[in-house]
Amino acid sequence: MKQHFPRAAWILTILAVTPSTLPAVDFNVSRIATGTHTGYDFAAGALKPFVIGSTLIHHFNRGLGDISSENTARYLPSPWNAVWKNAAEYPVLERTEDTPAPTASLVYLSPYYQQARVDMAVASPKSVKAHVFQSGDAAAKVSYSLRIQHTGANPADYILTHQVPDLVTSHTQAYSLCCPGDSNGGTYLFRSPTAVSIRATADLYVNGLAIWSSGKTYRYPEAFANGGSSHVDTQWGRTADTGSNRFFLGLSEPSRKFLFPAK
């Protein structure tokens, strides 16, 4: 069984969490965004007024769902070579392979063998989900790309605020219920998996270079051969309950562009 959870290049409140009241963690990424390091005082910068009407923003968004029972991945919006848009689009996409209908003697715990779902249309929480029941491979991804151009006559500081997404992974050992009429009221027969691989990641890029990443994985390789009692877990980056990030992108001269590309 494999589950590949969302990998996103541009995330604000995707995989949503309620905005935290905790102080934001500040990062100066001006050298990455502009090629030149510029010192910045976040506390003093927070007191400066916003400049309205000096930015041109274009959007390019994509949701993708892929399950191993289908030959090709599906994506929205289409076509694949769609151009930059003046407004963001919020794709809703789901690919599933259904389990058999329940009978008097057999009821499946999940309605799907495989599921890949992207739902960016709801206000909160926006979600990206991949789910496998029994065996197979499922992946769900979303990318939100922005192209930001400073159109003002005077230079301006650019700050990006980013809410840390909630990355959730889980794994449950399969079982069947035998002999519901016995003295125990039924016996659970657990089935050990051959292998399990689960990954959830989120990445943020500016001008093609990564400025932030977070993720977690669960690995039970086939070579362990112990039914999943031993496994390898990894986690890096920050969790959703730690608040938000603020990135100082740099001092933007007129006509400078910041590109947050899909990866």
Q: Three-state SS for 242?
A: helix
Domain range enclosing 222: 2-260
Q: How far apart are CA 43 and CA 254, in angstroms?
A: 25
pLDDT of residue 54: 80
Count of domains for the chain: 1
> How confident is the model at residue 155, as a pLDDT?
85
Cis preceding-peptide flag for 79 (omega within 30 of 0): yes
Determine how β-strand 74-76 pairs with β-strand 55-67: antiparallel
SS3 call for 130: strand
Is this structure's pTM higher than 0.85?
Answer: no
Q: Which among 128, 151, 191, 137 has a CA at the least distance from the CA of 57? A: 151
Q: What is the pLDDT of residue 216?
A: 92
**Structure confidence at residue 40 (pLDDT):** 92
Full pLDDT tens readout for the chain, 263 residues = 444 333 322 222 223 333 445 678 999 999 998 889 999 999 888 887 777 778 888 888 899 999 999 999 999 988 777 788 898 888 999 999 999 998 887 788 889 999 999 999 887 788 899 999 888 899 999 888 888 888 888 888 888 888 888 898 888 877 777 776 777 767 878 877 888 889 999 999 988 889 999 999 998 888 777 766 788 899 988 888 878 899 999 988 877 777 765 44
C-alpha to C-alpha distance for 161 and 246, rounded to whole angstroms: 5
The span from the CA of 255 to the CA of 251, in Å, is 12
Residue 24's nearest CA partner among 204, 160, 144, 216 is: 160
Reported as half-sphere exposure (CB side, CA atoms, 13 A), residue 190 has a value of 7
Q: Is-contact 125 16, C-beta < 8 A?
A: yes
* Start-to-end C-alpha separation, the chain: 25
For Cα atoms 220, 228, 218, give the angle at the middle one, nearest 5 degrees: 40
